[in-house]
Amino acid sequence: MKAVVKTDLHLPGQTSKYTGKVRDVYTIDNSYIVMVATDRISAFDVVLPEGIPYKGQVLNQIASKFLDLTEDIIPNWKIAEVDPMVTIGQLCEPYKVEMVVRGYLAGHAWREYKAGKRTLCGVALPEGLRENDRLPEPIITPTTKAAEGHDEDISREEIIARGIVPADEYAELERYTLELFKRGTEIAASRGLILVDTKYEFGRRDGRIMLMDEIHTPDSSRYFYADGYEERLEKGERQRQLSKEFVREWLMANGFQGQEGQQVPEMTPEVVAGITDRYIELYEHITGEPFERTECEDVLSRIDANLDEFIKRMR
């Protein structure tokens, strides 16, 4: 199936469209949002030139399942999954921070630690940690939400001092973040995985804090296989992982980290097919269910028809 890298829908009651790095988000009647998970892929805050077939379906369906599995912790924006690549939900006023939570020293946190930093987003880290070590307890390392370019690390104190989020509401965001991470960790463990780190986005609607966007997907989360974790750690070997980190590692190995003047390496059909296979592997391990490829010659027409029918009923 060809990758879907762009949508141009015209929906009943449509009032706006926002194009993110991966998702196209349409607003309906200024009250609902239609979130299309495209097959675009980004790394180092750069959208790569080739789409990944089935990636959008993987992301949308994982997020949909985990929204259902966590709605007892916090209400979320989802109303319905109306297409394998599309979820429709309630429009919220987003908080301008992303709540990143880490249970292990990996990825960006490890790179900062290796460079000599012992404080990350205002959180002190102990000496003597190794890459992929489990942290004494999960830590929250927020980032700003950049409309363009790179998100930036920020501390709780800066968020409150700059008036980005009021202190009492930020305390609630932290509480929800840790509860969601605990649930995600438990679900991952039941499937032989370790939830290493992830991020959550929150908003407000009708005076309530709500969970938005995706949750526990390979684009927003990093998973290790639990089997062999300790052995690899002791030997200083790379962990077997389920996340988008393998894409970042491939890019770095080919001289690209999103910096000015760097060129994205060629994404051959073999590279693209390999990334598709890894995303499907991710889906099956994270959900514990087989992935069903939705073959379709005209995905955009299918999406348009499914949405048109649902929105007309909803309105």
CATH number at residue 281: 3.30.200.20
Amino acid at 262: Q
Report residue 148's pLDDT band, with 50, 70 and 90 as the boundaries. low
Q: How many domains does the chain have?
A: 2
- pTM (two decimals): 0.89
| Domain assignment of residue 292, given as a range | 14-93+244-314
Flag whether pLDDT at 113 surpasses 80.
yes
The tokens for 75 are 């209400």
Q: Which of 240, 268, 289 is the last residue of a domain?
A: 240
**Same-domain pairing of 194 and 262:** no
- State the Cα–Cα distance between residues 45 and 42, nearest whole angstrom: 6
The least confident of 151-160, 175-184, 232-241, 305-314 is: 305-314
Q: Tell whether the torsion through CA atoms of 8, 13, 18 and 20 is positive or negative.
A: negative
In this predicted structure, what is the pLDDT of residue 244?
Answer: 83
Structure-derived torsion over alpha carbons of residues 124, 115, 224, 234, reported in degrees to the nearest 10? -90
Residue 305 φ then ψ, to 5°:
-65, -45
Question: Do 57 and 84 contact (CB within 8 A), yes or no?
Answer: yes
Flag whether pLDDT at 95 surpasses 80.
yes
The burial of 148, by beta-carbon neighbours within 10 Å (0-12 exposed, 13-18 middle, 19 or more buried), is given as exposed
Q: What is the DSSP letter of 153?
A: B
Flag whether pLDDT at 75 surpasses 60.
yes
Report residue 150's pLDDT band, with 50, 70 and 90 as the boundaries. low
Indicate the SS3 state at residue 189: helix
The least confident of 180-184, 205-209, 240-244 is: 240-244
**Same-domain pairing of 257 and 132:** no
